[in-house]
């Protein structure tokens, strides 16, 4: 790998586009390669073995591009840990979305009370509390699964009365615990930050996985002398299924930024 090698990102679907978009913004010299497994989403209801199998297939596909590193922008894969991917592909560096979020949250909290919202699968995995416990056993963690937030994002309902009402329903109990830091434990949730902020107020620090992960990636590139400062080519977005509906949602995530969409069947992974 060298400075011209791309930065690869993958997710079970389209949520990881928030990470890819943020990387594209803060690292304009890096070519971004993204893969979203929209044909087999959601991963949260799959067995651990199946999720690992899918992750190995996708990583194998991305390695064809000889990337500088691979970002696991999927909480389901991240919650299983990246060790199995590192063992299979020892020559490559993997960065997940949970580790950077936990690091930021534990650094920012003052009263040692952290809230976490995420999909039911991510919350039930217990990975966030486990990782926070390793860093500081004195921190209290309050979690809340929020199954309706992903559909709201995919419908483009980022900040309206209905969205704010549902957000408040989910997080009010966590806020009542006097948390000063809230982890947005799903890559869809950054698009709801405006609505979430109206409920939490300014006193609560919001940890956005796309921001935290992008900073981690930039640090890695700088330390290893891999940062490319020249203008990069247009990001390439691969999907295993591209329906008209998914295409519309993708453009909501990526907004007005340019990108190329390519389809690759899961049998080609």
Measured torsion, CA atoms of residues 79, 85, 86, 89, in degrees rounded to the nearest 10:
-170
**pLDDT in the model for residue 33:** 96
Region 180-197: mean pLDDT is 94
**pLDDT in the model for residue 212:** 92
pLDDT at 48 over 90: no
The model's pLDDT over 209-263, given as tens digits with 9 standing for 90+, comes to 999 999 999 999 999 999 998 887 788 999 998 877 667 777 777 766 677 889 8
**pLDDT in the model for residue 150:** 87
Does CATH number 3.40.50.1860 belong to domain 98-209?
A: yes
pLDDT at 117 over 70: yes
**What are the residue ranges spanned by the domains of the chain?**
7-96+211-268, 98-209
**Does residue 146 carry a catalytic annotation?**
no
DSSP states along the chain = --TTSPEEEEESSSTTHHHHHHHHHH-TTSPEEEEE-TTT---TTS-HHHHHHHHHHHHHHHHTT--SEEEE--HHHHHT-SHHHHHH-TTS-EEESHHHHHHHHHHH-SSSEEEEEE-HHHHHHTHHHHHHHHH-TT-EEEEEE-TTHHHHHHTT-SSSHHHHHHHHHHHHHHHTTT-SEEEEESTTGGGGHHHHHHHH-TTSEEEEHHHHHHHHHHHHHHHTT----SPPPPPEEEES---HHHHHHHHHHHTT---EEEE--GGG-
**Does residue 74 carry a catalytic annotation?**
yes
Region 5-23: mean pLDDT is 92
Q: How far apart are CA 61 and CA 268, in angstroms?
A: 8
Q: How far apart are CA 81 and CA 156, in angstroms?
A: 31
**pLDDT in the model for residue 81:** 67
Region 39-63: mean pLDDT is 88
pLDDT at 70 over 80: yes
Q: Are 113 and 178 in contact (CB under 8 A)?
A: yes
Mean pLDDT, the chain, rounded, equals: 91
Angle between helices 209-223 and 98-108 (to 10 degrees): 100
Catalytically annotated residue among 186, 195, 209, 249: 186
Residue 260: φ, ψ to 5°: -105, 135
CATH of 7-96+211-268, one of 3.30.460.20, 3.40.50.1860, 3.40.47.40, 2.60.40.1930: 3.40.50.1860
Same fold, 7-96+211-268 and 98-209: yes
Q: Model pTM?
A: 0.89
Q: Which residues contact 61 (CB under 8 A, 6 or more apart)?
A: 35, 238, 264, 268, 269
Catalytically annotated residue among 74, 141, 152, 191: 74
Percent of the chain residues past pLDDT 70, beyond the cut = 98
**pLDDT in the model for residue 256:** 62
Regarding predicted confidence, which is higher, 138 or 229? 138
């Amino acid at each position: 790998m060298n400075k011209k090698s791309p930065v690869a990102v993958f997710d079970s679907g389209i949520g990881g586009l928030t990470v890819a978009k943020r990387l594209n913004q803060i690292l304009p010299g890096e070519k971004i390669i993204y893969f979203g497994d929209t044909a087999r989403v959601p991963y949260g209801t799959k067995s651990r073995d199946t999720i690992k199998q899918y992750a190995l297939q996708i990583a194998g596909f991305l390695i064809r591009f000889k990337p500088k590193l691979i970002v696991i922008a999927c909480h389901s894969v991240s919650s299983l840990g990246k060790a199995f991917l590192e063992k299979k592909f020892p020559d490559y560096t993997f960065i997940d979305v949970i580790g950077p979020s936990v690091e930021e949250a534990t650094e920012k909290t003052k009263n040692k009370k952290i809230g976490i919202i995420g999909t039911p699968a991510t919350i039930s995995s217990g990975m966030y509390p486990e990782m926070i416990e390793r860093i500081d056993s004195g921190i209290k963690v309050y979690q809340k699964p929020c199954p309706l937030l992903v559909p709201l994002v995919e419908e483009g309902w980022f900040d309206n009365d209905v969205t704010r009402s549902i957000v408040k329903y989910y997080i009010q109990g966590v806020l009542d615990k006097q948390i000063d830091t809230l982890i947005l434990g799903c890559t869809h949730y950054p698009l709801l930050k405006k609505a979430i902020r109206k409920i939490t107020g300014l006193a609560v620090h919001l940890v956005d996985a796309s921001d935290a992960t992008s900073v981690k990636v930039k640090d890695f590139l700088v330390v290893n002398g891999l940062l490319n400062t020249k203008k990069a080519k247009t990001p390439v977005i691969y999907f295993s299924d591209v329906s008209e509906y998914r295409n519309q949602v993708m453009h909501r995530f990526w907004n007005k930024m340019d990108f190329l969409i390519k389809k690759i069947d899961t049998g080609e992974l």
